[in-house]
Amino acid sequence: MIGTMAQTRRPRASTQAKRERILDATEELILEGGYAAVTSRGVAGRVDMQAPHLHYYFPTIDDLMVAVLRRRSDGAVERMAAALDSDEPLRSWWRIVSDQRGTALFVELLAAANHRSALRAEIAAMAKAVRTVQVERLERLLGDYQLDPELFTPVLVAAAMQGLGFAVVTDQAAGHDTRPEEAAAAMDHLISVLEARRSGGAGS
């Protein structure tokens, strides 16, 4: 019983605050220099800590990277479900997938996952859970948008929405001359038309 209580005891507030500072510093390093910039010394230096002390909070860099992902992904399913249950499901969804900071960080975590199996497993589990929610909601929503379910299947719509958001944000961040702003504007217009159609407005 004592052992169980020790295992489930929450970390002290000061310990949790330090963990959050470490995770903040790790995110900044990833966004500034990519996932390869994350080293024990680099992260520790950002939080005025000796590198060996970092491993008290995160024993390995793998543990640290997984914690960064989990902090971002915690509540991801709930946020997606809330977006798709809102008054304008597609618009709310688009706001999530076109968030520049979140997408930029996720791109680097995906790249890191190619070399870190623990991170790869976490990303796979998160992606599956989020896609399940998307498909379940779209199965009942697509009819409201008057879309042919044989042409626009829930899986296709989910992949297209996520894929376009990912492509637009990553191209913008990289400065690629692929006209991402035009793609984003076209998507905004399409969503306006579809949401108006769903609500029975002038765009129907």
51-106 pLDDT per residue, tens: 999 999 999 999 999 999 998 888 888 999 999 999 999 999 999 999 888 888 88
CA 38 to chain centre: 19
> Per-residue confidence at 204, pLDDT binned at 50, 70, 90?
very low
Q: Report whether 80 contacts 63 (CB < 8 A).
A: no
> Per-residue confidence at 200, pLDDT binned at 50, 70, 90?
confident
Question: Which residues are within 8 A (CB) of 76 and not within 5 positions of it... i.e. 6 or more apart?
Answer: 126, 129, 130
Across the range 185-192, mean pLDDT stands at 96
> Per-residue confidence at 11, pLDDT binned at 50, 70, 90?
low
Q: Report whether 74 contacts 42 (CB < 8 A).
A: no
